[in-house]
Structure 1
Amino acid sequence: MKKIGSEKLFIKTGPGNPRNGEGTFARLPDGRILFGYTEYYGSLWEDDAIAHLCARWSEDEGETWSDKAVILEKDEKAENIMSPSLFLMKNGLLGMVYLRKERKEDGGLICMPLFRSSADGGKSWGEPTPCIDEDGYYCGINDGVVVGDDGRIFLPFSAHGERYPTRMAPSATGYLMVSEDYGKSWKRLMKFESPYKDDVGLAEPGFCAFPNGTWWSWFRTAYGNQYQSVSRDEGKTWGPVIPNFGFTSPDSPMRVKIIRGKPHAVWNPLGFNCLSEATEVWKSPKRTPLVLAIGGENGENLGLDGATFRNGGLLDFAANCYLLEEDRSDSYCYPALQETRDGFLVAYYHSNGGEVCLNSTKIIKVYLQELEQ
């Protein structure tokens, strides 16, 4: 497998800054690229530790980046805000969905997705709009919001119960939400449930729409693969939730984005590491290496048809895979992607020699000529 990509920015941790990550990109109307991410600024790195949202801007297609700026602080009641998704809406405004955590009186934690918009390229933001009315613990992946050609905004997320860790759901459930009025209101399009009766379920989903009317939803799982459900009629009906045998997974998220008309998927293939004793601190397999797969314009060769390894069914998939990170002593996860004029950018968590994969953030650039076989 060919190694591609070169480092453009490494946002490392340090004293008073134990974690930087969950990055997201957006192309601004003036041509600049905005990169937003979560900066933890206390002494703890855990998901409910204190954090705010920061940003950097690039004027040269990601070759160089500005110094950081804090673009959104948490309110007094919030434990933190984290995991942003930036996107340019059809009305010209910049949109953002992010997660807000709050500790309730019973000691349980809620996690709610909120929407805001910006008219000045992300420097300032309007008032928040809840994407979901009912309190609960909801997870949406960074950089995961999708703007359709018709202007609709799609938000995939997973529901984990009323509180964390109290009153957790028996199994995580996936949802697909949509806004048809630039984030002012949201409604549910689809609910996805695990095919198994267990306490794991479907976490941190993603969504992609293709020109032929195919919609693809996939889910992080602890079952050894990304699981998926596919619609061939723009979401009117959906197929069963089944494993995608190409995208094996050590219980880590996957990101897919359309770049130059083709889906680009970034994930951790379990097959490289499934028999290794190396694990993350929570004992799941190590999130390494980091791999890119490129499919056809309607998702061909990405296993949407339930392809298996029988009779070489995944050879075309393997032929279009590339290594982004190959040092298996480190871990990499929560990727984000952005098209550039001469290639594309990928941002992701990088353990940077630490014990926890949720550590620093690295941005690499892949140039078009690197993809030539």
Structure 2
Amino acid sequence: MEHGDAESANLMSVSLLRLTNGRCLLFACRKFASADGTMNCIPSAAYSDDNAQSWSALRPLVKSEGYFILCNDRVVPLKSGKLIAPIATQDNRLQFWTSSNQGETWRCEPMTLSSDENNFSCRVYQEPGVVELANGTLWCWCRTDAQMQYGTFSQDEGKTWSEVRPMPDFRSPMAPMSVKRNPRNGHLVAVWDDHMPRWDVPPPIYTRPGWGDVSTGGRHPLVLAESSDEGCSWIQARRLESDTRRGFCYTAMHFTREALLLAYCCGGLNDTIMLQDMKLVRIPMRADGTLKLEGI
């Protein structure tokens, strides 16, 4: 599948997801210009039922033009079988798109979340992620311009959400966080750019990660932590990356039977931006599913 095949200026945030029935889903944000030159960004999906030998056409989740962001590695299968895709709009609203038929069709849940409606010093909601907790509650988080991640919860598979509130455990620049469940021991694993003072790394002061003026976007150090109580507390915080000349972001997480695999951007050297380079990391697991973090 090439850019020209999809009539796109760019295909970005590409991800793969295998469903329990064997179907492979491919997600990407398709960027193209309208007749008046306005740039659109439309989350789209294709599927394969023959182990990626052939693919359906790339079809939009969102039917209207506009700028909608679905980050890489963000679509989540729920225990009910439904799929949920957290999407941010250009005007800082969070939408939740769901599919009940293995990704064939998608609908936007009626409730959206807007930074205009919060009671905190936050104007930006971007790049949301979702994880399903043990009791079926959905936890959504997003990057903000308030020096930390903000979070909200849903008790009905994304139809309605609680008030979006700051999460002091996750102080960060305006950079995405990733959270997934370790299927071996049930722990939640979070990876984010941690600006807590415990690392003694003074982050750069800025309001937004401008590509030209801050090559790293303040996106360091990259930290991993675990939670054994469904996100109530976080332990085993370890620095994965501490090079202040680089920015680390857009982490994809995949658990195998023996390891946690991470892939993330790591650019910033030689006058490049943070998105220029990519790194793959393998963290082995013990027999009980705990991560072998020694030496990290």
- Residue 289 of structure 1 pairs with residue 221 of structure 2: yes
Report which of the two has the higher share of strand: 1
Asked if structure 2 preserves the Cα contact closer than 8 Å seen for 1:211 and 1:297, the reply is no
CA 1:84/1:233 → structure 2, altered by over 3 Å: closer, same or farther? same
Q: Hey, what's the Cα distance between the residues in 1 that align with 2:120 and 2:240? A: 35
Alignment of 1:1-373 (within 5 A): 71-75=1-5, 77-160=7-90, 171-189=91-109, 190-194=111-115, 195=118, 200-232=123-155, 234-235=157-158, 237-260=160-183, 261-271=186-196, 273-276=201-204, 281-283=211-213, 285-296=217-228, 298-301=230-233, 317=234, 319-351=235-267, 353-354=269-270, 355-369=272-286, 370-371=292-293
TM-score for both structures, normalised by structure 1? 0.68
Task: Encode CA deviations 1:312-353: one digit per residue, 9 max, x unaligned.
Answer: xxxxx2x32111112222211100000012121000001162
**Residue identity opposite 1:265 in structure 2:** A
Asked if structure 2 preserves the Cα contact closer than 8 Å seen for 1:219 and 1:228, the reply is yes
TM-score for both structures, normalised by structure 2? 0.85
CA 1:277/1:202 → structure 2, altered by over 3 Å: closer, same or farther? closer
Asked if structure 2 preserves the Cα contact closer than 8 Å seen for 1:172 and 1:199, the reply is no
How far residue 227 of structure 1 moved from its aligned partner, in angstroms, is 0.9
Asked if structure 2 preserves the Cα contact closer than 8 Å seen for 1:210 and 1:297, the reply is no
Asked if structure 1 preserves the Cα contact closer than 8 Å seen for 2:29 and 2:44, the reply is yes
Gaps of 5+ in 1: 1-70, 161-170, 302-316
Counterpart position of 2:289 = none
**Residue identity opposite 2:285 in structure 1:** L
Indicate the structure whose relative CO is greater, using CA pairs within 8 Å and at least 6 residues apart: 1
**Residue identity opposite 1:192 in structure 2:** L
Task: Encode CA deviations 1:225-252: one digit per residue, 9 max, x unaligned.
Answer: 1111123454464221111111111101
Q: RMSD of aligned C-alpha atoms?
A: 2.5
How far residue 223 of structure 1 moved from its aligned partner, in angstroms, is 1.3
Q: Hey, what's the Cα distance between the residues in 2 that align with 1:76 and 1:93? A: 21
Counterpart position of 1:51 = none
Q: Secondary structure at the match of 2:92?
A: strand
The percentage of aligned residue pairs carrying the same residue is 31
Q: Hey, what's the Cα distance between the residues in 2 that align with 1:72 and 1:209? A: 33
Asked if structure 1 preserves the Cα contact closer than 8 Å seen for 2:172 and 2:195, the reply is yes
Q: Hey, what's the Cα distance between the residues in 2 that align with 1:256 and 1:341? A: 18
How far residue 84 of structure 1 moved from its aligned partner, in angstroms, is 1.5
How far residue 184 of structure 1 moved from its aligned partner, in angstroms, is 1.7
Asked if structure 1 preserves the Cα contact closer than 8 Å seen for 2:3 and 2:9, the reply is no
